[in-house]
Structure 1
Amino acid sequence: MDKLNLLLVEDEPFLARVVQDSLEQLGYSVVHAPDGRKAFSLFHNQFFDLCIIDVMLPYTDGFTLVKQIRSSGSQVPVLFLTAKTATNDLIEGYQSGGNDYLKKPFSLEELFLRINELLKRAKPPHSAFETQSAIGKYVFVPHQQLLKFGSEEHRLSHRETQLLKLLYDHRNALLERKQALITLWGDDSFFNTRTMDVFINKLRKHLQHDTAVQIINVRGIGYKLIC
């Protein structure tokens, strides 16, 4: 059985190490980020089953980080860690998209319990596990961010999954570049255009084992997924 992947965002080195080591001993795979900016970069390039996020972080605070995560369309469970205890802070945490709140100092046993409960609540209903799509000889499972080819499985990043899903929804038809940029990135700036081109090339590499599957560039207009 695959390990569950957790993102731990904590700027206190000692606490981060204790939490990471303890969770890894329980069988989780844990990626640590020391600040909100690094965490957001990791989030868009890896798949995570749950995020544990401190509120007071360098560069991007925890509340803002979770708002960014939610604005990308992700519903990944989020557990806040914080020394803040005011009611207004708790309300802001939930309004930003957090699912649970653990006040510092906390026991590791309570942390494990909260994580377990969040993961159980996040499990999709049985019917959701049957949601998959055929892309040529590939099987695309969006809710698991998986692309399968025979017995091989490849874990897609969150952004790769979003883009492939959008292409699949427009399969064998034109997906306009501007529509994709606004849907996934919020605007069609030059920087976002270049970024999307990078992700298109990544998807082409993921799909290269089936020559009948192609992502065609309609120059200056958009893309077309042929499958």
Structure 2
Amino acid sequence: MSSIVGRGAVAAAEQSGIDLLMIDDDADLMRLMQRASTRAGHRFVGVADAWGALDALSRQTFDLLLVDMNIPGTGGTEILGEIRAAGHSAPAIVLTGDIGSVNLDSLRSLGVVATAEKSSDFERLMRAVDEAVRGDQAA
């Protein structure tokens, strides 16, 4: 299963050891992401809703957020708005089942740096994390 995470993600993680917060109600994807992130050297926290996200953010600083756009009860845009209103500025990657329905430019004001399709190749999601890590290191 070592093929899940590309070499670039591992190299970036070794340099950064970032703290990831994933906000998603898909338990299977959450488990996959936790395993891959931990294997890559990241510290991972997963929550299923906005309240869990705000609670986690009140206790810890995160370097990157992975946010599902379609969480039941509260959408990803609303969750990101609440997170920003609470003063948290970590960049975010938006996860969606329909990448065509997401306009990245309209989400940039909420700190979104990339989008990733949930049903696509899992390695592509890890590359998006890697690119966000490298972009953060370059800043």
TM-score bin, normalised by smaller chain: 0.7 to 0.9
8 Å Cα contact 2:97/2:119 also seen in 1: yes
Which residue of 43, 46, 66 corresponds with 1:29? 43
Higher relative contact order (CA 8 A, sep 6+): 2
Q: What does residue range 1-227 of structure 1 map to in structure 2 within 5 Å? A: 3-87=17-101, 89-91=102-104, 92-123=106-137, 125=139
Aligned length in residues: 124
RMSD: 2.1
Higher helix residue share: 2
- Structure 2 unaligned residues grouped into runs of 5+: 1-14
Seq. identity, %: 23
TM-score under structure 2 length normalisation: 0.77
Moved over 3 A (4+): 91-97
8 Å Cα contact 1:37/1:59 also seen in 2: no
Compare CA radii of gyration and give the structure with the larger one. Answer: 1
8 Å Cα contact 2:94/2:116 also seen in 1: yes
Work out the CA distance in 2 between the residues paired with 1:37 and 1:3: 25
TM-score under structure 1 length normalisation: 0.49
Aligned to 2:6: none
Work out the CA distance in 2 between the residues paired with 1:119 and 1:40: 22
Give deviations 1:96-125, integer Å, cap 9, x for gaps. Answer: 431110112122221121111111212365
Give deviations 1:72-95, integer Å, cap 9, x for gaps. Answer: 3433110010013345x3254344
